[in-house]
Structures are given as structure tokens and as C-alpha cells.
Amino acid sequence: MVALGPPRTLRALLKELRYLSAATGRPYRDTAAYRYLVEAFRAHRVTSEKLCRAQHELHFQAATYLCLLQSTRNHVALHQEFHSKGERSVEEAAGAVGLKLPQQPGGKGWES
Amino acid sequence: MWRSCFRLAAGGGSFPRRPCLLPAAPLGPGSQAGLAPGLSLPRRAYAPPAERKKFYQNVSITQGENGYEINLDHRKLKTPNAKLFTVPSEALAVAVATEWDSQQDTIKFYTMHLTTLCNTSLDNPSQRNKDQLIQASMKFLDTDTICYRVEEPETLVELQKNEWDPVIDWAEKRYNVKIGSSTNIMGPDIPIKTKETFISHLASYNMWALQGIEFVITQLKSMVLSLGLIDRHLTVEKAVLLSRLEEEYQIQKWGNVEWAHDYELHELRARTAAGTLFVHLCSESSTVKHKLLQE
């Protein structure tokens, strides 16, 4: 995976938050996650050290959270598309091979 | 085989971590989020439903005496064992609240991995103590994925050598142990000293972090890869790729089946990312030191 710089990670995270907020209808800037992320990135941006371990830690956590959000979204999308429809009914299954179920207006012989 | 077990659990039951078949734990649909006692819902002896209708509008976080709590509308979130849901870290609380907030129409419990991990840590349904958790994690080392090599086909042997050997070298250097790899069916011969080093390393984490570590190891089927994740040597995507190396090899050879391969890939990534994040958030303590601006 290409090494994501902090700005790219933050932008991708905000995009994921936008997807999530599209569900609830409320603007994504209102969410606690947005406020927390923006504040965390802002707080760790300014540092005079060249090799800042805390910044690296924060960025790793941000990248991990981004992976979590992206993969959950993809997983749910794949589930919806391929695994959510359940079984076909008997009529649909017959219709798939071009057959129709028999209709006996008088009822079947053994049902009295 | 492992993954199909998890997939069945994810499809049919809500919390794959819970021993759903134990009748001892209260497992009615009403116990999911601590509803008012007057509400009587039909209780079933087996697994709780995989999905529930979304019954709240707003999710908020409050700070209680033991940590941060989640509120769904005005009700406090509770674990499946009806304990109050408290987390020690604010970032974790925000992430859990986002999970609950992102549900639409139905609550898909099988996508809420951080909530599941928190519930497991709070309830400890399998009632394991620290030593048992460490033992469970160490069991994976004897048949660690990246130490267990094939002998043919040639290209796969090459691939395993090129991708997995660097990680083993890193782990050996970082922890000052000998691990090695093997094509033997019994797996690699891990020296006792190596195991002791890892046991004492794992013992330095608290209970919550250990639950997360054991979860990640179970997902990736490799202790070395999990250590690489926790030490921030590997990204989640890379660790999942290394864990699924043979599958990726076969996919490149025979083609990708979206509804199986991609489905499993994204589920594995989600779980691993959740576990890693959980471990880091439960084992860190952050302080912000403000430096004085100097002119």
C-alpha cells in the first residue's frame, strides 16, 4: 500500500465520515468523530522534532481507522449485493427454468 | 475452514465472540441495549438476532466515573450482560459512537467490531484470566502462518520466502529470539526461550489490550504478523495480504471471485483493523505538552 501522508489520510477519513453521515442525514461536521479527528490532527501537526514518534503513532492509528471504515463499508456493500437476497421462492425457482407450478382448482387429492 | 466458521457466525449470529449457545448468559433480543424492564420481547435460547431495527436517533458520549459512556437518545448503552458500557479512552468512545451512529434502518451487529471487542472486554463471557489469554495467543505460534511453508509449487515457495522471511527477520531482531520457518508438517520448532520471551512481552499489556491482541492473532492466524501490527511495523492492509498470501497467489493464477474473495478480504481487514486500533487505544496514554513559542 502506498504510504499515505497525514493530509491524504485525513482527507480520506473525512470522506468516509461523509459517507457515514449521508446515512443519518445530519451534516458530518456535527459528529463527534469529525471534531475529534480534526482536533487530533491539528494538535499533532506543529512539532519541531524531525522524527516525531507521537506523530507517527497518531498517523498509524488514523490509517488503521481509515482501513476499518473503508473495509466495513465495502464489506456491507458486498453483503448487500451478493448475500442479502436469501433463497428464491418455489414460484421464482420454477420460473427461472421456464416452468410454471401446476394449478389444481379442485385442490390436491390428499388435501381434504 | 476457519473463515467459513466466522462467516457463518457473522451471518447467523450477532456477536461472533459470544458463546451464543450457552443458555447461562441472558440472550434475548431485549438485552442488546438495556431496554426498559417493562418491555417484554420473545426470548430465544439460541443466538440473538443478527439485525435489529434502529430504535434511536442520536448517539452521544458522556464522561462517567469509570470512563466514557455512550448514550443512545437518552438511554445509556449496556453490554449484552447488562453491564454499563464504559471505555477508558475517549478516542475509543468516539469510534464506538460513530459505529452506532452509522447504522441505518437496521443495526448490523456483525459490522460493529469495536463495540463487540468492548463488550467482550467488559463482560469476559468466556471468563478467561490474563494467563489463559496469553496461552491462547501463544498456541498460534507453533503453527504460525508465516513459519509454515510449502514445498511446491516453486513460484509459491519463492513468494513465501520473499514476503515472509523479512517479517520473521524483523521479529527475531526486535525481540532477540529465534523463530525460523519449516516445511515440516508439524510446523516450526520454536525454542522454549522464544516462547518465554513472547509470554513476558504479552504479559506487559493490560486485560483489554490482551483481548484485542488475541482477537487479531485469531483473525490473522499468525502471532508474528500480529506483533508486527502492534509494533506498527506493518500496516493492516499489508498484514492481511501476508496472512492471505497463498490465497492471493491462487487469485492471481485463477482469477478473483468478488462475492467470496473480496467479501472475505474486506471482512478480514475490518476485523484486523478494529483489533489493532482497539489494542493501541487501550494501551496508550497520551499527554500533550505545549512548547513555548520562542521568538
For residue A17, the chain B residues in CB contact (below 8 A) are 98
Architecture of domain B130-283: Orthogonal Bundle (1.10)
Specify the pLDDT at position A7: 85
**Mean pLDDT of all residues belonging to chain B:** 83
Q: What is the pLDDT of residue B36?
A: 43
The residue assigned the cell 499533532 is A44
Average pLDDT over residues B233-248: 95
With bands split at pLDDT 50, 70 and 90, how would you rate the model's confidence at B285?
low
Each residue's pLDDT tens digit, B28-84: 444 444 444 444 444 444 556 677 889 998 899 999 888 999 999 999 999 999 999
Q: What's the pLDDT score for residue A111?
A: 65
Interface check for B269 against chain A (CB to CB < 8 A): the answer is yes
The Cα A58–Cα B283 span in angstroms is: 14
Q: Where are the domains of chain B?
A: 59-123, 130-283
CB atoms within 10 A of CB A48: 7
Over residues B14-23, the pLDDT tens digits come to 444 444 333 3
What's residue B48's pLDDT?
Answer: 66
Higher pLDDT, A54 or B249: B249
Q: In chain A, what percentage of residues exceed pLDDT 70?
A: 88
Give the percent of chain A with pLDDT over 90: 39
A14 pLDDT exceeds 60? yes
Taking the Cβ of residue A13 and every Cβ of chain B, the question of whether any pair is shorter than 8 Å is answered with: no
Q: Is residue A101 part of a domain?
A: no
Per CB-CB distance under 8 Å, the chain A contacts of B267 are 71, 75
State whether residue A42 sits within 8 Å of chain B by CB.
no
Question: DSSP assignment, residue B291?
Answer: P
- Give chain A's mean pLDDT: 84
- Give B240's contacts (C-beta < 8 A, 6+ positions apart): B220, B265, B268, B269, B272
- Contacts across the A-B interface (CB distance below 8 Å): 98
Query: Is A61's Cβ below 8 Å from some Cβ in B?
Result: yes
pLDDT confidence of residue A112: 57
Contact flag B258-A20 (C-beta cutoff 8 Å): no
Shortest CA distance from A78: residue in chain B: B263
A58 in Cβ contact with A44 (< 8 Å): yes
What's the farthest any 2 CA atoms get from each other in chain B?
A: 69
The ipTM is: 0.80
- Give the pLDDT confidence score for residue B10 in this predicted structure: 44
User: Given CB atoms, is A74 within the 8 Å cutoff of chain B?
Assistant: yes
Backbone CA torsion sign across B59, B63, B69, B71 = negative
Q: Could you give phi then psi for residue A61, rounded to 5 degrees?
A: -65, -40
State the first-to-last Cα distance of chain B, in angstroms, to the nearest integer.
63
In a domain, A78, yes or no: yes
- Partner B contacted by A68 (CB < 8 A): yes
- In a domain, residue A58? The reply is yes
A104 found inside a domain: no
Predicted pLDDT of residue A55: 77
Say if CB A16 and CB A69 are below 8 A apart: yes
Split into its structural domains, chain A has a count of 1
pLDDT for B26 beyond 60: no
Cis peptide before B29 (omega within 30 of 0): no
Pick A47 or A98 by higher pLDDT. A98
Q: Give pLDDT tens digits for B116-145.
A: 999 999 999 999 999 999 999 999 999 999
Structural domain for A26, as ranges:
6-91
CA of A99, closest CA in chain B: separation in Å? 28
Within-domain flag for A108? no
3-state SS string over chain A?
Answer: CCCCCHHHHHHHHHHHHHHHHHHHCCCHHHCHHHHHHHHHHHHCCCCCCCCCHHHHHHHHHHHHHHHHHHHHHHHHHHHHHHHCCCCCCHHHHHHHCCCCCCCCCCCCCCCC
| Within a domain: A100 | no
Structural domain contains residue A1: no
Percent of chain B with pLDDT over 70: 79
The 8-class DSSP code of residue B34 comes to T
Nearest CA in chain B to A3: B235
Percent of chain B with pLDDT over 90: 68
The lowest-confidence range among A100-109, B15-24, B92-101, B251-260 is: B15-24
CATH says B59-123 is which class? Answer: alpha beta
CA distance from start to end of chain A = 68
Assess B73–A contact: CB distance below 8 Å, yes or no: no
- Model confidence at B101: pLDDT above 80: yes
Q: Is residue A87 part of a domain?
A: yes
More confident residue, B110 or A26: B110
Q: Does A57 touch chain B (CB under 8 A)?
A: yes
Q: Is B237 within 8 Å of A67 when comparing Cβ atoms? A: yes
B33's CB contacts (< 8 A; 6+ apart) are: B55, B72, B75, B77, B78
Is B115 a residue whose pLDDT tops 80?
Answer: yes
Looking at per-residue confidence, does B13 or B277 come out higher? B277
User: Residue B215: pLDDT band by 50, 70, 90 thresholds?
Assistant: very high
Among A68-72, B48-52, B150-154, whose mean pLDDT is lowest?
Answer: B48-52
The CA distances from residue B99 to B120, B280, B292, in Å, are: 16, 18, 38
Task: Supply B236's cell numbers.
Answer: 493492516
Q: Is the pLDDT of residue B4 over 60?
A: no
**DSSP 8-state class, residue B261:** I
Residues of chain B contacting A63 with CB distance shorter than 8 Å = 235-236
B90/A36 Cβ within 8 A: yes
